[in-house]
Every structure is written in C-alpha cells, then in structure tokens.
Amino acid sequence: MKILISAGESSGDRYAAALAAELSRRHPELALFGCAGPLMREAGVRAVVRAESLGVVGLVEVVAHIPRICGEYRRLIAEAAREKPDLAILTDSPDFHLPVARRCARLGIPVVYLVAPQAWAWREGRVKQLRRNVRKLLCIFPFEEKFFRDRGVDASFIGHPLARRVAAGTSREEFFERHRFPLDRPLVALMPGSRAGEVARHIPVVAGAVRRMREAAVTFAVGIPPSAPQPVYEPLLAVGVSPVRAMAWDLMAHADVVLAASGTVTMEAALLGTPMVTFYQVSGFSWMMGRWLVKAPFLTMVNLVAERPVVPELIQDAATPETLAAEVMDLLSSPSRRARMKEDLRMVAAQLATGHDPIERAAGIVDALTGANPQQ
C-alpha cells in the first residue's frame, strides 16, 4: 500500500508524523511519500518536497514565494500521478493543500484532510472545495464538525492531537537547574513563532518588551525549535534572554507566564495550563485585507474554543513593546488573575480531549477508507 502524506508547517509536520508512525506500525510494508517536514522524515516519510519550503505567512508576504511554491506543488502532483497512491492525507496549509486535493481527486486518489481549514472564520468558499474533493475531513476543534457537516462535508471531530501528548519531560527543579535559572524568580517564556518570517517580524517588539521589564526580578527565556538558526534570536539574547532549544513544552510548563505568538503554541500552553499573553503581527496590507475578510470574534484559538476572551490578544498595532510588557507584568503581579486563567484553560483543555487517541482514530479512518487490515 502507498499513501501520499503532506504537511506544510511545523504543527502539521508533528500531527502528520504521528499519523505516519501509527500507520507504519499497523502496516509495516506501507510506503509513505509526500511533502514532509523533519519529524515526518524521521517517521519514514520519503520527502518529495520538504515542508520547510512552504512556511510563509501573510497575504502579501507569500507573493514573492509563489513561483517556488508552484514548483513544489507541481513536483508533488507529478509524483502522485506516477506512484498512484491508495490515499492522500493532507494536513492543514489549505492554500497549498486544497489545490493538491483537487488534483488528487481528478487522479482518482481519495483524500483525507487532517486539520480543517478555518472556513468558519474566513474564506467560506473553501467549503465547496472540501465537499467536492475531500472524502473525509478530520477536525481537531469541537465546534468544527457541526459547521462542516451542516454544509455537506463528511467531517468528524477526532480530538486535538496534542491533547494526550503535551507534557513536560522534566520537573521544574530539574529544568531550572539544567538552565541555571534561579528558583526564586518568576520565569517568562517567550514564544515568537515557528516560521522564520514570523519570528523575524516578532523579535523586535518582543525584545522591546523585555527591555521594558528588565528592572523586574524576572527570568526571560526564548524557546528555539531544534532546527532553527540561532542568529535570528540574537536581538533577544542581547537583552539578557536565555535560549532554550528543543524543550518548548518544558519551558512553557514551568513558566509563570508565556508570551506567545498566536498559533499552535497557544493551544500547547493551554493544555499545559500556563497563563499567557498572545500577540501577532503581519504586514500592514495583509492586516488590512485580513480584517476585511475575517469574521471570527477572536483571533486566538484559545478564545475561540472558549467562546470568550480567556487570554489577552494583542494583534497588529495593539502589539507594542509597552502593551506586551504591561500585560505580562500585570499577570505576574496578580496571583488571582493567573489562577482564574488557569481554571479557564483547564476548561478549554477538557473540550479538546475525547475518550480515544486522536491519531489512532485518524488511522482507523484511513484503514476503513483503504480497506486495509492492521497487522496485530
């Protein structure tokens, strides 16, 4: 059996890698190929395209990368036509994967889509593409199943893949000792993003916020992904921020407050139960167009799941060094506010969990669609 499996960014790479590993466990002779990030490659997926080449955010920012992305798309489709896989599993990144789904459908390849496009927030026209080209849509947020089913898409809520996986690997004492952090000072975790472009865009405002908090007795540490080049983080290190590489969950779990770019990291912090301040910036034109198109009441997924403002959102012009510093310091100085937020985050985490493992559920759906019998 052959399966095309594809992801375009770090969170999708993590989910797709877990599913690839589970499918390979069930079917040792399975051949997996596609657009693969580092975790997928470690899980045995043959990379026709490397997912790192697709990591661009913003309506304007993506324009300069269109020729390269189109080339990667054509390379992936050509391999799908040559290999004729039994199934395609496309993970998130709808701007890339919805066209892939259309071509796969034309090639007679059934498509499973993991992580639903946010059509409930903007670009609802994507529902028509899903209805036409996707055999099964796997939703990771509880409100999505009804939205898509009401519009004719065969959708199922499988639970959030991180709900059973996010956990610290060390105790607070071990973590602090390893990084030589003083135990008697609060820790603020800085998570400026996962893509190189968004990290570079966010570093100046985060560094400015740290400078405004330097007089406080606080330890600042920035989470750096395993494969990320450290030089991009130098402006933070220059203002006394400690680098923590490849231990993001431990850093957030043991932090008193997380200052996080809106994205998957906010769900990780919620599952770890750590209070947070969220922020995000794009180019001015992307922001203007996005605000015109987006109809969601909140821009941070934690608040969307809760259906109310559980965590602060400082987006675009509201994300200044002054406002970030003020929100972080307000949380640090208010144990009661942190306690209320932790309780709210526990409620959000409960909504993301189900009575089964989401990855195993996804693998079972893949088996049902391919008619494959798992090896015991």
What band does 291 get if pLDDT is binned at 50, 70 and 90? low
What band does 376 get if pLDDT is binned at 50, 70 and 90? low
What band does 58 get if pLDDT is binned at 50, 70 and 90? very low
What band does 258 get if pLDDT is binned at 50, 70 and 90? very high
- pLDDT value for 194: 82
Number of other CB atoms surrounding residue 238 within 10 Å: 11
The residue ranges of every structural domain in the chain are 2-164+354-370, 172-352
| Percent of residues, the chain, with pLDDT higher than 90 | 83
Single out the residue of 189, 197, 312, 327 nearest to residue 262, CA to CA.
312
- Measured CA to CA, the distance from residue 325 to residue 311 in angstroms comes to 15
Among the residue ranges 90-94, 289-293, 322-326, the one predicted with the least confidence is 289-293
* Mean pLDDT on 288-311: 83
- pLDDT value for 193: 92
Mean of the per-residue pLDDT values of the chain: 93
* Mean pLDDT on 172-195: 96
- Measured CA to CA, the distance from residue 364 to residue 369 in angstroms comes to 9
CATH fold match for the domains 2-164+354-370 and 172-352:
yes
pLDDT at residue 282 greater than cutoff 90: no
* Mean pLDDT on 67-87: 95
pLDDT at residue 89 greater than cutoff 50: yes
> What tokens does 62 get?
């993506």
| Percent of residues, the chain, with pLDDT higher than 70 | 94
Does the structural domain 172-352 have CATH classification 3.40.50.2000?
A: yes
Strand ranges inside the chain, DSSP E: 2-7, 31-36, 46-50, 87-91, 111-114, 136-139, 155-157, 187-191, 219-224, 242-245, 257-261, 276-280, 313-315
Q: Is 180 helix (H, G, I), strand (E, B) or coil?
A: coil
Cα–Cα–Cα angle for 218, 223, 225, nearest 5°?
170
Cβ(133)–Cβ(91) under 8 Å? no
Select the more confidently predicted residue: 169 or 59. 169
pTM: 0.88
Which residues, 6 or more positions from 104, have their beta carbon under 8 angstroms from its beta carbon? 4, 80, 88, 110, 111, 133
What band does 35 get if pLDDT is binned at 50, 70 and 90? very high
* Mean pLDDT on 58-62: 49
Q: How far is CA 57 from CA 281, 286, 287, in A?
A: 10, 9, 11
Select the more confidently predicted residue: 294 or 101. 101
Place of tokens 């189900």: 354
Q: What amino acid occupies position 44? A: G
- pLDDT value for 59: 45
pLDDT at residue 157 greater than cutoff 50: yes
- Measured CA to CA, the distance from residue 337 to residue 328 in angstroms comes to 12
- Measured CA to CA, the distance from residue 192 to residue 103 in angstroms comes to 35
pLDDT digits (tens, 9 = 90+) for 307-355: 999 999 999 999 999 999 999 999 999 999 999 999 999 999 999 999 8
pLDDT digits (tens, 9 = 90+) for 5-25: 999 888 899 999 999 999 999
> What tokens does 4 get?
């095309």
Single out the residue of 204, 211, 213, 236 nearest to residue 223, CA to CA.
236
Domain 2-164+354-370, CATH among 2.60.120.10, 3.10.20.30, 3.40.50.2000, 1.10.3720.10: 3.40.50.2000
- Bridge partners of residue 7, in order along the sequence: 91
Single out the residue of 241, 243, 318 nearest to residue 277, CA to CA.
318
- pLDDT value for 26: 97
What band does 54 get if pLDDT is binned at 50, 70 and 90? confident
- pLDDT value for 125: 93
Among the residue ranges 137-146, 189-198, 264-273, the one predicted with the least confidence is 189-198
- pLDDT value for 60: 47
